[in-house]
Structure 1
Amino acid sequence: MVLGKRICVGWNRLLLLLPAVILIPHFLSVKELHQQMDSRDVPKEKPKKPDHLIQGPAAGEGLHNRLQCQGTRALNRTQILKFRNNSLPTDHVALVTVFTTYNSTADSDSRRNDLVSVGNVSYNKVERSMAILNVFLNFVQVTMPESHVIILTDPAVDLPLHRDIVTIQPIQGEYSRDKLMLQRIRSYIMFLQTRLEKLKQKQEQVTHFIFTDSDIAVIGDLGEIFSDYPNFDLALTFRNNKDQPLNSGFIAVRGTADGIQRGVAFLQEVLAVYSSKFMQASRMLGDQLALAWVVKSKPNFNIKRFSRGEAFQDMIGGASVLFLPCSLYNWTPPEGAGQFHGMPLDVKVVHFKGSRKRLMLEAWNFLSSSSNLPDMLCLILRSGRTKYDF
């Protein structure tokens, strides 16, 4: 009887403790949930990006066809520029870019806090954009001195540019940040259509066009592609990327009547696909997704060619399209094809995507002080894996 009584008392105690045992984990989980919610309410500080160049090892060490560097001194490259000597002069090639500015409505204190310094110069957001554009023009002037740059822009924007190599051409459209990539394709089409009409009326000579982003450094003569590959209508740059094999930051169109007509037709198809399939990515990447869709949807197109890293041509619709490797014509630190194997010796374009704009300005400053293009490329190669504050 005593044993049975003790068992009953033990069960009673256990039953009394059971709600606490059940509720304690519940209270703990509720407490954790509140802690998580409280932590969400506290804004997380973004990691501060470096405000100066940070150099690391130069990728491609020991590879015979890659730039070799000792610090910022190039070891195996004495001359990069190779000017052509044939019947196609460089003044028949024009670079075209779409550019606009967005005025900040922040107060003066916020604008002061937003200043970023490179060298001895400080820039606010608008000034940063203009600085990048000017450095883009500087590189073109050095490497393609007889070429011309055409800037397509919002008619409402007054660009403070007074340079002999530049023509500013306003084109009506929607230049908001969310629609800028869509507007860029529309501007290309409208620009080419205008040129075609003038060409037909014999008001213009044949000029080949290279449409680029403005955050690139041209370090080789891009006019060579029109003589080295005489039969293409339109050229695109590709990389070994399954979802985004084509980059829209470099598009070349042959300036003949046939070339422009076929280029316009191709871009109109890209615009239609962009508008119907990829508007959810209208602020970024939509144009590249549309380019890839148009190309890969063509019967018998061999997408394995994107992994080989060699230039090739194919018929896309009615246009002969030249595919050029990003590793040469759109090399990006640290993104893009070939960057983990270093910088190819015959690279023509360095693309400072995203947060690498400071590196673009620093590279130009280095070149201005040293006049040594190969050494500047070592600076880019060694500094290109860091996201900067510009």
Structure 2
Amino acid sequence: MMRTIVDELRSGTQFPGMKMGSGWRRFLFLLPVMIFLPYLLSVLELHQFSTTVDQPKKHGMKAKHLVLGPVAGQGLDNRLHCKGTKALNKTQTASGSLNSGENVAFVTVFTIYNTSENNIEKRSSDLVIVGNTSYSKLERSIAILDSFIKFIQVAMPLSNVIILTDPESDLHIDKERVTTLPIQGEYSRDRLMLQRIRSYIAFLTARLEERNKHVQGQMKHYIFTDSDIAVVDDLGQLFDKYSSFHLALTFRNNKDQPLNSGFIAVRGTAEGLQRAKEFLEEVLEAYTLRYMKASRMLGDQLALAWVVRSHPSFDPRRFSKAKAFSEEINGASILFLPCALYNWTPPEGAGQFHGMPLDVKVVHFKGSRKRLMLEAWNFFHSSLNLDDMLCLVLGSGRTKYDF
């Protein structure tokens, strides 16, 4: 059709209502617009979408507020489907039982740096605003710890939270079922991951001594976690569903770092405590002998992987499928749980690009996702809808935030 019009113009054919002088030249002037108009409309639509989600303008710039975008997993079975922050299906969580968590305690390591900041006037360069609240560096660390505790109290109301901390840190948490336990050690930033393993070992040693002295009453299982996680389901069921493991680790399909140290479950029997302690002592030895150059970050995960992979019978190909499995390693029965369920990370990294499983148990706000953790708690606190909150997390996961 377009070729016919051009040929007729060249032959001098005059179209009705068009003079051969200025009329056909005007038509030729508009011809490129007619050709490229559909492409122009597409570009305008794309621009309208990008401004709607309000993405950072410069590549690599971190957003200072939530940025919602398309969510992964739409149309996939057993994945959360969302429209904005509205869930289109329901998760398979069992949260809400008033008796949930009675025999489980969560253990995390947390310390405070630069406590003198309390006596210094807040500088605007250090402030971060989340919702209607402004945080200094110290305050936002405490706010993340507070969100960690609140998520646990919603999902598992009867569970306890134990915070292992530096005796010199001025940490006071006035909350029901929350205790702080000072443990001597080296809590500098460069040694914190190393100290975390040492603190876990010291804690398990103390629990074993209590059991030997029959001081402890009801048996408690322990879940050692980072403080930037949100528990969104009853994890006490883990110890009933898998009844024979001594400790549990979470894994992902990652060649160099298949194991994540942000979630370690330990059965509260005497044998479970002993086997977990011995296993972590092996990890600590591997850490100090092989991975001290990575002591600030990742050294613990590399040491975990080395201890597991060095066992002669272990097949690392089992990490490629997101299914739980068990393996006996140096006398310890270890349950390997997929990160996709027990250590799910918003999709900025760690390969979680296929959406959020409907039966997710734990959401881990690693690295720069910590703002998203505070935003998620604020959203849940106002809406009391877990599924919609998970849509908020899923839709915001690909954004880099400011802390």
Moved more, 104-113 or 376-385: 104-113
Structure 2 Cα separation of the partners of residues 110 and 120 of structure 1 = 16
Matches within 5 A, 1:280-291: 280-291=293-304
Matches within 5 A, 1:1-390: 48-77=61-90, 80-82=93-95, 90-103=101-114, 108=120, 111-204=123-216, 205-335=218-348, 339-390=352-403
Structure 1 residue 334: Cα displacement: 1.4
Structure 1 residue 48: Cα displacement: 3.7
Structure 1 residue 160: Cα displacement: 2.9
Point out where structure 2 has 5 or more consecutive residues left out of the alignment.
Answer: 1-57
Structure 2 Cα separation of the partners of residues 304 and 96 of structure 1 = 31
RMSD, matched Cα: 2.0
Q: Structure 1 residues 60, 159: CA separation in 2 closer, same or farther (over 3 Å shift)? A: same
Structure 2 Cα separation of the partners of residues 83 and 373 of structure 1 = 11
SS in structure 2 of the partner of residue 90 of structure 1: coil
> Which AA in structure 1 matches 2:102?
D
Q: Does the 8 A contact of 1:192 with 1:264 survive in 2?
A: yes
Structure 2 Cα separation of the partners of residues 79 and 305 of structure 1 = 25
Structure 2 Cα separation of the partners of residues 152 and 313 of structure 1 = 29
SS in structure 1 of the partner of residue 367 of structure 2: coil
Structure 2 Cα separation of the partners of residues 347 and 256 of structure 1 = 27
Q: Structure 1 residues 95, 290: CA separation in 2 closer, same or farther (over 3 Å shift)? A: same
> Which AA in structure 2 matches 1:273?
A
Moved more, 225-234 or 158-167: 158-167
> Which AA in structure 2 matches 1:368?
H
SS in structure 2 of the partner of residue 96 of structure 1: strand
Q: Structure 1 residues 218, 197: CA separation in 2 closer, same or farther (over 3 Å shift)? A: same
Structure 1 residue 79: Cα displacement: 5.9
Structure 2 Cα separation of the partners of residues 165 and 96 of structure 1 = 12
> Which AA in structure 2 matches 1:236?
L
2:28 alignment partner in structure 1: none
Point out where structure 1 has 5 or more consecutive residues left out of the alignment.
Answer: 1-44
SS in structure 2 of the partner of residue 243 of structure 1: coil
Structure 1 residue 288: Cα displacement: 0.1
Structure 1 Cα separation of the partners of residues 280 and 100 of structure 2 = 27
Q: Does the 8 A contact of 1:220 with 1:348 survive in 2?
A: yes
1:126-169: CA deviation from partner (whole Å, max 9, x where unpaired)? 11100000000000000000100000000001213100120110
Identity, in percent, stands at 66
SS in structure 1 of the partner of residue 265 of structure 2: strand
Structure 1 residue 338: Cα displacement: 5.8
1:4 alignment partner in structure 2: none
> Which AA in structure 2 matches 1:135?
S
Structure 2 Cα separation of the partners of residues 57 and 283 of structure 1 = 34
SS in structure 2 of the partner of residue 355 of structure 1: helix
| Structure 1: 4+ residue segments shifted above 3 A | 45-48, 82-85, 104-112, 335-338
Structure 1 residue 112: Cα displacement: 3.3
TM-score of the superposition, structure 1-length normalised?
Answer: 0.85
Structure 1 residue 46: Cα displacement: 10
Moved more, 110-119 or 58-67: 110-119
Q: Does the 8 A contact of 1:327 with 1:337 survive in 2?
A: no
TM-score of the superposition, structure 2-length normalised?
Answer: 0.82
Q: Does the 8 A contact of 1:181 with 1:282 survive in 2?
A: yes
Moved more, 110-119 or 147-156: 110-119
Structure 1 Cα separation of the partners of residues 388 and 245 of structure 2 = 34
SS in structure 1 of the partner of residue 204 of structure 2: helix
Q: Does the 8 A contact of 2:100 with 2:155 survive in 1?
A: no
Q: Structure 1 residues 55, 159: CA separation in 2 closer, same or farther (over 3 Å shift)? A: same
Structure 2 Cα separation of the partners of residues 367 and 110 of structure 1 = 29
Aligned residue pairs, count: 344
Q: Structure 1 residues 337, 283: CA separation in 2 closer, same or farther (over 3 Å shift)? A: closer
Structure 1 residue 266: Cα displacement: 0.1
Q: Does the 8 A contact of 2:100 with 2:234 survive in 1?
A: no
Q: Structure 1 residues 335, 196: CA separation in 2 closer, same or farther (over 3 Å shift)? A: farther
Q: Does the 8 A contact of 2:115 with 2:170 survive in 1?
A: no
SS in structure 2 of the partner of residue 358 of structure 1: helix
2:43 alignment partner in structure 1: none
Structure 1 Cα separation of the partners of residues 61 and 257 of structure 2 = 29
